[in-house]
Amino acid sequence: MAINEPPESLASSSDDNNNLRRRPGGGAKSVDVVTELDSSSAEASSSSDGDGIQEERNEKVENEEERKVNETTPLKYVYRASAPAHRRNKESPLSSAAIFKQSHAGLLNLCVVVLIAINSRLIIENLMKYGLLIGSGFWRSSTSVRDWPLLMCCLSLPIFPLAAFLVEKLAQKKYMNERVVVTLHIIITTAAILYPVLVILRCDSAFLSGNTLMLFACIVWMKLVSYAHTSYDMRQLAKSVDKGDNSEINYPYTVSFKSLAYFMVAPTLCYQLSYPRSACIRKGWLARQLIKLVIFTGLMGFMIEQYINPIVQMSQHPLKGDVLYAIETVLRLSLPNLYVWLCMFYCLFHLWLNILAELLRFGDREFYKDWWNAKTIDEYWRLWNMPVHKWMVRHIYFPCLRNGIPKGGAMVISFFISAVFHELCIAVPCRLFKFWAFLGIMFQVPLVILTNFLQNKLKNSNVGNMTFWFFFCILGQPMCMLLYYHDVMNRNGSAS
């Protein structure tokens, strides 16, 4: 019975109470029922403190019994002083035994509000002290007018998928044997990555233009590798079916230009003949995501120009000077770098890939998982970039295992390929090969071993998660940024 019932219900309740008074022992019996239910629930829950599932079940049973009692027992007996207030063993919500069973949405909202307030004060203080520092130097250089060769190179990249399609078409008609087909695919994929590298190195272009072109070139290269590898696998399956082997497999080998064209623009790196599709394009949702993309891209540019550029320009080379000064610079750079990195993740993996998927009605929107909860470094790499992870597993890791390479060797090979492409995307636009990005990615291999050891030894998810955040956002990225900036400045100074 609810407390805020109208007078009519309370009057009917009082009539029931009078009826109970006419029957001796009626009220005491009701109280006994409540006491018995409470004591039985307490005994059931106390006997299963160690079993979380049983405890939740007992709590549901107790709540249900209490609800039934409240509905059938008069108000004056339910809320009397002799009714027990403590029925079973319970933990405080913030205790170690119950903290992960509670919802902390309110505390998360408090943290968001506090972060907004603190950072708003810092932004206002920075603007009052230094003024608006946003310029065009980072986004374009004095030579950016001559960046048109990079644009033409980007527009000509579709030549390579067209060449791969022609090779597969000839292979389908059996005009070439497998060795020639594989050789031609190797030539096409190699040219697809070397062509942009040569264009960038020959042109004095801005960093952002060169970095964008290298990202597109790497995506095209990975898509071509997936297309060639998948087509080869489908040909082998078709041949085995023709010979009578694996007769239960129905895997048709078809070469479709429409499938390849859709694959080249779809937000995936793994080729297949068909993909899950959404029912329609949500225009209102699409407009909201585009607005968010513009806002967060502008916020990212503001933080780079207003905070990161001044810190980097006033810093010293982290490996050539006072150690304490280098540590202070890295820590001062870590917070704005973290914000820029999170904005980059949100803009690229959540907004842009979902916008592209919506336009193409691409159904599988799992572009990332909860990487922020990663307990080890290898778990982070499996969660944060799902298109690349699926490509690595499908075309690098499992093929290595099938060829007899142990799991540790396959993991090192995967990290090596990732390190090479990270180096290309940074070193080529800078026109400086110091291999800092390559070494940073390869350094993940011992970190994988270290975080796995800590996780297995301490059985504490917080240790591995904090180790991941420290090496990625507090130490690794700011240090890499400082190293490349000062090496580029030293190269330009030596050249001048």
Confirm whether 422 is a catalytic residue: yes
DSSP letters for 272-300: -S---B-S---HHHHHHHHHHHHHHHHHH
CA 441 to chain centre: 18
- Taken in order 344, 347, 353, 354, is the CA torsion positive or negative? positive
- Taken in order 117, 119, 125, 128, is the CA torsion positive or negative? negative
Per DSSP, 277 falls in state B
Going by C-alpha positions, the residue among 264, 279, 285 that lies closest to residue 351 is 285
Structure token pair of residue 270: 């793994």
Name the catalytic one among 185, 350, 422, 486.
422
**Residues 188, 158 contacting (CB under 8 angstroms):** no
**Residues 196, 217 contacting (CB under 8 angstroms):** yes
Structure token pair of residue 59: 């709590």
Instruction: Let me know how long the chain is.
Output: 496
**For residues 225-259, b (16+ Cβ closer than 10 Å) or e, as one string?**
bbbbbbbbebbebbeebeeeeeeeeeeebebeeeb
Distance CA 471, CA 443 (A): 10
For residue 274, which phi and psi values (nearest 5 degrees)? -145, 155
DSSP letters for 388-425: HHHHHIIIIIHHHHHTT--HHHHHHHHHHHHHHHHHHH
DSSP letters for 323-368: HHHHHHHHHHHHHHHHHHHHHHHIIIIIIIHHHHHHHHTB------
Give the count of beta carbons closer than 10 Å to the beta carbon of residue 354: 18
* Owner of token pair 């405890």: 55
Angle formed at CA 44 by CA 41 and CA 49, multiple of 5 degrees? 120
Phi-psi region of 95 (alpha: psi -120 to 50; beta: other; left: phi over 0): beta
**Residues 303, 464 contacting (CB under 8 angstroms):** no
Please give the positions annotated as active site. Answer: 422
